[in-house]
Amino acid sequence: MNASQLPIKEYAEYYFKYINVLEEVTLLEELEISLHDFIRFVQNIPMDKFDYRYAEGKWTIKEIIQHVIDTERIFAYRALRISRNDKTPLPGFDENDYIDNTDANSRSIQALLTEFSAVRHSNIYLFKSFSNVQLERMGMASNAGVSVRAIGFIMIGHQKHHQKVFEERYF
């Protein structure tokens, strides 16, 4: 299955902006491709931009990378719980509270990219372990229904969304 075939009933309308940009990609293939694309993309950002904020109160590139890492971990946790048929509704999270409680700006880009790579590789193995039944399984997260496979596509689309923000607002 590719992202364009994912029924809209498998995710909240809010996530359409992430899934819509993926078009014909398949989940496992794009989890791997987008990992390498993101690392290459970030490595080509000029060093003086990593601590730059395009406006007061906006995140730096380092903080955005940390946000992508944190969010991917949360999405993976949701996917795991739902895949195991856990019916517990899973709460949302406040992304600003998470960033406010990191030290992303004191970290090196290499450390952030290494962590992102480790998290994504772990998630690739996680999604490879799911059967088709598990991938199609639905659960509740952030007060909305979502399937395990939709969560995987959302991970990828979320990363690509932030890459686009880098291009539009930081260069």
* 3-state DSSP of the chain: CEHHHCCHHHCCHHHHHHHHHHCCCEHHHHHHHHHHHHHHHHHCCCHHHCCCCCCCCCCCHHHHHHHHHHHHHHHHHHHHHHHCCCCCCECCCCHHHHHHCCCHHHCCHHHHHHHHHHHHHHHHHHHHHCCHHHHHCEEEECCEEEEHHHHHHHHHHHHHHHHHHHHHHCC
Residue 136: predicted pLDDT: 98
Q: What is the pLDDT of residues 20-30, one digit of tens each?
A: 989 788 999 99
Choice among 12-16, 21-25, 59-63 with the minimum mean pLDDT = 21-25
Domain 3-52+60-169, CATH number (from 2.40.50.140, 3.30.930.10, 2.160.10.10, 1.20.120.450): 1.20.120.450
Report the chain's mean pLDDT, rounded to a whole number.
96
> Is 90 exceeded by the pLDDT of residue 108?
yes
Confidence band for 1, pLDDT divided at 50, 70 and 90: confident
- pLDDT (mean) for 92-104: 97
> Is 90 exceeded by the pLDDT of residue 171?
no
Residue 92: predicted pLDDT: 96
Confidence band for 120, pLDDT divided at 50, 70 and 90: very high
- pLDDT (mean) for 126-132: 98
Domain ranges of the chain: 3-52+60-169
